[in-house]
Amino acid sequence: MDKFIEIKNITKIFNAKSDIEVVGLKDINLEFDKGEFVVLSGPSGSGKTTLLNLIGGLDNATNGEVIIDKVNISLMNESDLSSQRRDNIGFVFQAYNLVPVLTAKENIEYIMKLQGASQKQCDKRVLEVAKKLNIEHILYKLPSHLSGGQQQRVAVARAVASKPKLILADEPTANLDSVSANELMDMMERLNKEENITIIFSSHDSMVIKKAKRLITLKDGKILKNEIVL
């Protein structure tokens, strides 16, 4: 396997300049290989979302380094981080975060348009991804006309369409019923295999945890377990 992400001595302290400091993560060291399917688990406040945000360049560490594909993103300015997120990382949030005035198709191709893809390229890729996620029949509907499960599939399609190296999914099944959650995880698993995209979830959903190929358990900002699941 190729070493793809390196987390080196990462500490994140919130409100570091005030009298009250909250430790989000404390001296974390981790490595992820290309194409891994990993779940970060642990109770609320354990540091799951904080770690995802640092890997995704959505927040800065207090100390330590995050290196993705041999590039130290901890040294990047905001403009470079924005380009890194646009070109290399797909995000899936529990709240979907779809643009309400855009159709499903327009939401899916949004990042590709930012990257400069032509309409022809967008049309081809959107249809390809939509077929894999069984949403080709809803492409011209607005998010308000879609179920929660359909909206989350559109969010996954948007994350995958631009062919990122990495997908970060923060509690992606939290607002879904068990059937939709199972279907979503099966599809994410298939995308991981077929497109060799590294996928890192945060979740305390037992069904999601069972799907993990590697399970990292966090508690109070520290790594409790880091185990390969057979």
Round to whole Å and give the CA distance between 113 and 182.
31
Considering the domain boundaries, does residue 108 fall inside one? no
Q: What is the pLDDT of residues 170-222, one digit of tens each?
A: 988 888 888 888 888 888 888 888 888 999 999 988 888 988 999 999 999 99
Structural domain that includes position 71: 3-100+166-228
Considering the domain boundaries, does residue 135 fall inside one? no
Q: Output DSSP code: residue 45.
A: T
pTM of the model: 0.91
- Quick check: 115 and 79 in contact, CB under 8 A? no
Ranges of H-type helices in the chain: 48-55, 78-88, 104-114, 119-132, 148-161, 178-195, 206-211
Considering the domain boundaries, does residue 157 fall inside one? no
Considering the domain boundaries, does residue 84 fall inside one? yes
Q: What is the pLDDT of residues 56-87, one digit of tens each?
A: 999 999 999 999 999 999 999 999 999 999 99
Round the average pLDDT of the chain to a whole number and report it: 91
Total domains, the chain: 1
Considering the domain boundaries, does residue 195 fall inside one? yes
Position 168 pLDDT exceeds 90: yes
Round to whole Å and give the CA distance between 122 and 108.
9
Position 16 pLDDT exceeds 80: no
- Give Cα separations from 57 to 44, 74, 82, 213 (angstroms): 21, 8, 8, 24
CATH at residue 180:
3.40.50.300
In degrees and rounded to multiples of 5, residue 179 shows phi and psi of: -65, -50
Range of lowest pLDDT (41-45, 67-71, 91-95, 100-104): 91-95
